[in-house]
Amino acid sequence: MIKNVVVILFLFNLVACNPAQKASQNKSASKVAPFSCLSSQNQCDVTTDLGVFTVEFSGQTEQGKVKTELPFHIQLTFNASMKDSQIKSVNSYLEGKSMFMGKIPVFFEQGEKNSNVMRAETLLVNCSEEIMTWRQWFAVEVDQGGEVVTQDFFIDFDSKRL
């Protein structure tokens, strides 16, 4: 009798798992709203000797600020000054500017169509302040026809507590 109950429970657990549903959820989650600059950003375009880096956001925003504790996306687009320059990798992290709350790593991946578009998904933690300023640091490795050059820069933007 106990064997039968164990087998039935085991089969019930197998049937309860639905990998097809999870795969369809991942596809819908990969769709990202349009990217734009936040009104709270200190700069949207960062001009360097290598070219122009544009940092844009997508997700839950309110009055030009990112909402805390909700996932959002960051897109880094590189408009190279040299024709064959391409982003090789991006190392990035966020830290509180108005209140230090540790470093939050941001992991960028290659965009779908263009090798000079990188995207990341992240979120921010709540803080005691209603509005907090964050600083995002970037170290971008750019391949310039076989020579790899690193460009460092940062942007500041605000978040709003839920």
Residue 100 tokens read as 């230090």
- Closest C-alpha to 35, from 18, 6, 58, 67: 58
Report pLDDT for 95: 94
Report pLDDT for 3: 66
Beta bridge partners of 87: 142
% pLDDT > 90, the chain: 59
Q: What is the pLDDT of residues 18-47, one digit of tens each?
A: 444 444 344 444 566 799 999 999 999 999
User: Left (φ > 0), alpha (ψ -120 to 50) or beta: where does 51 sit?
Assistant: left
User: Are residues 107 and 136 in contact, defined by beta-carbon separation less than 8 angstroms?
Assistant: no
Q: d(Cα 153, Cα 22) in Å, to the nearest integer?
A: 38
At 11, which helix (H) or strand (E)? helix 2-16
Checking if the pLDDT of 15 tops 60, the result is no
Write the DSSP string, 17-77: --HHHHHHHHHHHT--PPPB--TT-S-SEEE-SSEEEEEEEEESEETTEEETTS-EEEEEE
Checking if the pLDDT of 14 tops 80, the result is no
Checking if the pLDDT of 79 tops 90, the result is yes
Q: d(Cα 6, Cα 12) in Å, to the nearest integer?
A: 10
Report pLDDT for 99: 86
Checking if the pLDDT of 2 tops 80, the result is no
